Structure 1
């Protein structure tokens, strides 16, 4: 599927004076809301959406700064604000009961939402939490060299400007278990979405989320330790960034959880191994 075909499936919704791209598909009474990862977009789910939509009404939006959503330069790009946007979107869509699925960057947006949920600050009921390959335990993550550069306050902007598609393609292929599972066309479509709305100009600002994972560690890991939401941890065995140790640590500390492993798969399981990943999510 091309990026333009994906764009034609969704719509722009105004949230806090920002245009947010939203996919809303499926007619089930049950609702699945998805928070995507970095530096990609809701497009990560194009292979699994048809099957998920047989079981749920599926709502995926592009965070501010990603995909087809607005990419303002004068914006904090804090994970706190990304949580505000997600919650406001769900409120405008009048959602009451949801399963919340998050991957990568989205897992930290999810933990901020769980923190507020634990304090009875939300008017939405989270029936289940599904966490996939995210570096919430940032102290255990194996960050790529380019991630370390981009999050730097001094050199991040210049690294963002100099990053080209060759560098991007190489870095994405390295975080697959089987790099032959991602086609050049997919890489082209993902790169086009990063560049959409002058997105390369803000990519270093997006990368500050890594610093926030340290700063808000106690708030967000504390939220997981205290939550009563039934949680499913769906993790791959060969993610070079969000390594197995993170899943094992989450399994130890989240009160009511089950851990499901996806073998021989890297950081983007919904793209690399979509059928098996979907089975685990739905199981």
Structure 2
């Protein structure tokens, strides 16, 4: 699927004076909301959306700074603010109860939302939580060199300016288990969306989320330890960044959880092994046997 075809699936909604790209498909009573990862977009789910919409109304938006959403220069790009936008979007769509699925960067937006949910600060019920390959336990993550450079206040801006598609392609391929599973077209479409709306000018600002994972560690990990929401942890076994140890630690801490392993998959299992990833998600929610 091309970026243009994906764009045609969605709509643009104004939230807090910012334009947010949203894909909203399916007509089931149950709603699955998805928070995507870094540095990509909602496009990560183009292969699995047809299966998911057989069981859910599925809503995926591009975070501010990603994909087809606004990428302003005068913006905090804090995960706190991304959570604000997410909650306001759900309210705009008049959602009352959701299953929340998050991957990578999206898992930290999710933990901020869970922190508010625990304290009854939001009026949307989260019936189920699904966490997929995110470095919430940042102290256990194996960050790539480019991630370390981008999050640095001194080097980040220059690395962002010097980044090119060759470097991007190489770094994405490295975090797949089976390098042959990522196609050149997918890489081209991902890179196009990163560049959309002058996106490379803000990519170093987006990377500050890694620093926030340290700063808000007690708030966000604490929220997972306190939550009563039934949680599924669906984890690719060969992710070189969000390693297995993170999933194992989460499984020890979250009160009501079940851990599912996805064998022979890297950091983007919904793209690398879409059938297995979809099956794991749906099985964890008792949607299929």
TM range, normalised to the smaller chain? over 0.9
Structural mapping, 1:21-32, within 5 Å:
21-32=21-32
Rounded Cα–Cα distance in structure 2 between residues aligned with 1:273 and 1:185:
17
1:98 is aligned to 98
Taking the TM superposition and a 5 Å limit, the aligned residue runs for 1:163-242 are: 163-242=163-242
Where does residue 247 of structure 2 map in the other structure?
Answer: 247
| Pair 1:267 & 2:267 matched | yes
Question: Secondary structure at 1:255's aligned position in 2?
Answer: coil
Once residues 252 and 236 of structure 1 are traced to their aligned partners in structure 2, the CA distance between those partners, rounded to angstroms, is: 18
- Give the corresponding residue for 2:125: 125
Look up the match of 1:45: 45
Q: Is 1:83 aligned with 2:83?
A: yes
- Please give the per-residue CA displacement for 1:3-46, whole angstroms capped at 9, x wherever unaligned: 00000000100000000000000000000000000000000000
- The SS at the match of 1:139 is helix
The alpha-carbon deviation at position 243 of structure 1 amounts to 0.0
Report how far residue 136 of structure 1 moved.
Answer: 0.1
1:150 corresponds in structure 2 to 150
Alpha-carbon distance in 1 for matches of 2:167, 2:89: 34
Specify the alignment match of 2:17 in structure 1. Answer: 17
Q: For 2:167 and 2:177, how far apart are their aligned partners in 1?
A: 18
Note the residue ranges of structure 1 that are not aligned, 5 or more in a row. none
CA drift of 1:69 comes to: 0.1
| TM-score, with length taken from structure 1 | 1.00
Distance in 2 between the 1:24 and 1:84 partners?
19
| Distance in 2 of aligned mates of 1:21 and 1:11 | 6
Q: Which whole-Å CA distance do the structure 2 matches of 1:214 and 1:257 have between them?
A: 24
Q: Render the CA deviation track for 1:147-193: whole Å, top value 9, x for unaligned.
A: 00000000100000000000000000000000100000100000000
The separation in 2 between residues aligned to 1:180 and 1:18, in whole angstroms, is 37
| Residue of structure 2 in register with 1:138 after alignment | 138
> What TM-score results when the alignment is normalised by the length of structure 2?
0.98
Give the distance between the partners of 2:232 and 2:210, measured in 1 at CA: 23
SS at match of 1:19: strand
Partners of 2:107 and 2:232 lie apart in 1 by 13
Structure 2 regions of 5+ residues with no counterpart?
A: 284-289
Task: For 2:108 and 2:268, locate their aligned partners in 1 and report how far apart those are by CA, in whole Å.
Answer: 16
